[in-house]
Each structure stands twice: as structure tokens, then as C-alpha cells.
A = this chain, B = another copy of it.
Amino acid sequence: MRHWRVAGKSNKPISSPTTAPKANKTAAPARRIEPRKVVGLKALAAHLSLSQTTVSVVLNESPVADSIPQDTKDRIFEAARELGYRPNFLARSLRKQRTFTVGVLVNQIGDGYPSKILLGIEECLSAAGYFYFVVSHRHRPERLIRYPQLLMERSVEGLIFIDTTFNDVLPLPSVAVSGHQNVENVTNVVLDHRKAVELALGHLKSLGHRRIAFMRGQPFSSDSEERWETICRVGAEMNIEIHPELTLRLEDDVSTPAVSYPVMQRFLAARPCFTALFAYNDISAIGAIRALADQGIRVPHDISVVGFDDIDAAEFHTPSLTTVRQPLFKMGEIAAQTLLERLGSANRDYVRTIAIEPELVVRESTAIARRALEKL
């Protein structure tokens, strides 16, 4: 399955011609690797015949350095640049008790939803000079209690939870995206579920759909319960009946469309009578559409499907997905931004909840209701 093309053992350049020089000639010439010994504050100070203190305060532009004449400062900056001085972040963090690092807990990187949020987080944090650790618990309980500990051992300054329910009180400022957790010290960035459901159901209703199938999320998915409750409530208000036999339920911890495909297959096997499906998210909508297609049922001709999230793929899927958009990127940004603000201020107050407005994006996967499928 794999070959080891070259045993490029560095100490014995087997064949002379294939070695570095060629690359070197084209690129910058003097980039050596071996002798690049790291110079620390001590070495720098010694080089300048100054104390570490002086060098440190000057380089940090501390107010203490006000009394130091400009030419000394210049000398210091000059020498620092010349010797390539890079302060050791560990040492600095240890002393200052600031790491400029946050921890991000996510179920799993990779399936549109979390990665889009991560993108927003990344954008915001990196602009602020923060780095972050990502860890994927996969809803394994032992990881869920272990990872926050590990992150705290690593001295992260705060935590961001993505689609992750967590019940212990943490001594660190935290922000949770999705899945409202009513826990001390955490700010929740949550979608306005009511609005979201109203948009979806309103859309379907206006197209004449009455027999609508609903897909519930996995029990561990932090939005599942609230979404479902809201569907029941709003459904009642809008006079849309929620039939138990038209309810699907995701179970597997899978982040591809395979999550819904078998569920939909089983569902269809019972020959249900419905004209539309409100999927749990876009991924599961895609899986469901695939299952429908494999039974010869066309979307939206026979069945309309509404997704949720508006991941990148939604727009380009065939049929493109009508979906309730969550501004995922922005949610990530807001989460990170909020956390940074909390970190910045000594103040222990914090906002408990930040509500995000969803938006309906109408595309191809929904159409006017025809006759409900009864017998396939």
C-alpha cells in the first residue's frame, strides 16, 4: 500500500546530485539550519553588555523604559533583530500568567457545520494574536470530562464549546455555540429556534404541505431537544399536525449523509403518507434525498425537503437545498469575540445568552405540494 520512495537518511547522502544545493541555488542562499542557535534574553543582554531587565523592558516598551535614552533603545532593537531574538513564549506565559490560548471542544472537525464555525473562531482569534487547541471528544463521556481538564492544565484562558453539552461548572470563562447550557460562567450563542422553525414550517405550509415528516436529531446533539420542542409548539400554533408515524430520529454519531440514509430507508419502507420533510440539518437532508432518489422518489417533484444550517454544499447539491440558514461563520466569530472580551476585562459579569437570527434560503428542494404519496 505504501512504498518508501527514498531512504533520505540525512547523514548519508547516498547520491550526491539529489541533495540540497539545487534547491538552494534557486531559493534564498544563506538559510542555514544547523547553527541557528536560539538566542535568549540572557545571551542578548550579554551581547549588549546590559542587564536582562533593561533589554526586557525596552523590548516590551514598558513604561519603566521611559527613562532609557533613545540610542540605547535603538541599540537594543537593532541587536534583537540582528541576533534574531524571539522571546520564549512559555517563559513569558509562566511569568505573566497569560497564554493567549483558548481551547475549543468540538464533537468532530469536518462536516461543514463545525468547520464553518471554527473558521469564524479562527479568524477572530488569530486577528487578536490568540492561538487555540482543538479537541474532538466524540461524545465519549470520558473525553468530555477529561479534555476540559487537560486544556486547563495547558493553561488555556477560556473555552469554546461547539455543539457540546457540558454540565460542570468551570472556573474559566466559556462560550457555548449551540446548545444552551445554563451553567455558571458560560455565555451561550444560540439560534432563535422559534424563528427558525416558523420560517421552515411557514414556507412549507405556504406551499400547501400538510403532511410533513420531521427528523429529530441525535440525542447527544445539543440542538436536538430544543428544536424538537419548538417544532411541536410552533406546529401546534400553526395548525400543523405532527404525526408520530411521520417522525424520524437520527441515532448514529456520523457526520456524513450516511447518518440519515438508512433511517430514511426504514422510514420509507413503512410507506408513509407525506409530502414534505423537515430535516435536522443539511447533511441529513442530503442523505435523505439520496434515500428518496434511490426509491425513485424525486425531490422536489414528489417530496419537498427543507434542510438546516446552509452549509457550503447546500447551494450546489442537486437539487440545491432550501434551508434555514444559520450564520455559522458569524456565530464562530461572535463566540470568539465574546470570549476575548471576557478575557480582556477583569470584570466578572458576562452576557448569558446571545441570540442569532436564522434566515430562510429558498432553493430547489421545495415546491408546491402535490398529492401525498400513499402507495409507492
Contact = CB atoms under 8 A, between A and B. Distances in A.
Interface string A1-41: 11111111111000000001011000110011100100000
Contacts of A320: 290
Given A135-B126, A315-B257, A6 B90 contact: no
A134 B110 contact: no
A54 interface: no
Contact of A316 (B116, B171, B258): B258
A72 interface: no
A313 interface: yes
Interface string A124-136: 0010000111111
B133 A131 contact: yes
A177 interface: no
Interface stretch (A42-50, A73-81, A228-236, A344-352): A344-352
A8 B348 contact: yes
Nearest to A312: B256
B133 A182 contact: no
A313 B8 CA distance: 37
A8 B353 contact: yes
5 contacts: A7-B352, A10-B349, A23-B167, A89-B154, A287-B316
Give the 7 A-B CB pairs with smallest separation, nearest first: A8-B352, A2-B182, A110-B115, A257-B316, A256-B312, A5-B353, A10-B348
